Amino acid sequence: MINSKITSTEQLREIYGFPKGRAEKKVLSTLEKHSKNFIANSPFLLLSSISKEGKMDVSPRGGNSGFVKVVDNNTLIIPDAKGNNRVDSLTNIVETGHVGLIFLIPGIDETLRINGTAHITTEESILALFKDEDKQPITCLVINAEEIFLHCAKALMRSHLWQETYKIDPKDFPTMGRMLKDQLNSSETPETREEMIKRYQKDL
């Protein structure tokens, strides 16, 4: 049996070749007007991090459009909203400080990717950036952007993510309560979607 496992970057390049033109040149080292505008219009991002043991984590972050603040050409601030207190991403940031971000805008198929470093702060002047929000953060993530680039629309176009006809009716999908009951083999009565939404509304 032929071993088809790719084990080197040389093998990868034999299959895919090298980026050319805009794909090669589009990586920026500072935030400019279009990346800043993308962040200002984004209500949702994915935050990736890595532990000192090399374990990866990806966590969603959301808020009103522009909930992430850009303070200069390389620095952005993400308020940390209340979650389930696992703090997987925060632990990874404390341990290694390396992060990757993908920003999304509903209805826009392109995404903005940022790679860089991060630290967690309780600095009052930084927390004050969010003083007008309904829920003020108790900590913030300070991101130092090192690589910034727009990612093409193909993945979201293939997924039809924003198209109404591809949306699943929540009634046809198991609730979080049902999935956790099955996964944990719990004897508890699963929480309904309505109960979950009512409980979550208190912490949004």
Which pTM does this prediction carry?
A: 0.90
Q: For 19, list phi and psi in degrees, rounded to 5.
A: -65, 150
CA distance 35 to 52: 30
What is the model's pLDDT at position 2? 59
Q: Is residue 14 a part of any domain in this protein?
A: no
What is the model's pLDDT at position 38? 98
CATH number for the domain spanning 116: value is 2.30.110.10
* Cβ–Cβ < 8 Å for 92, 100: no
- Per-residue pLDDT of 26-83, as tens digits, reads 899 999 999 999 999 999 999 999 999 999 999 999 999 999 999 999 999 999 987 7
| Averaged pLDDT for residues 181-200 | 90
* Cβ–Cβ < 8 Å for 48, 58: yes
Domain that holds residue 74: 19-153
What is the model's pLDDT at position 82? 77
- Per-residue pLDDT of 135-183, as tens digits, reads 889 999 999 999 999 999 999 999 999 999 999 999 999 999 999 999 9
What is the model's pLDDT at position 182? 93
How many domains, the chain? 2
Q: Is residue 190 a part of any domain in this protein?
A: yes
Summary mean pLDDT of the chain: 92
More confident residue, 89 or 4: 89
What is the model's pLDDT at position 132? 84
What is the model's pLDDT at position 140? 97
On whether both 112 and 175 belong to a single domain, the answer is no
| Residues paired with residue 57 on neighbouring β-strands, in sequence order | 49
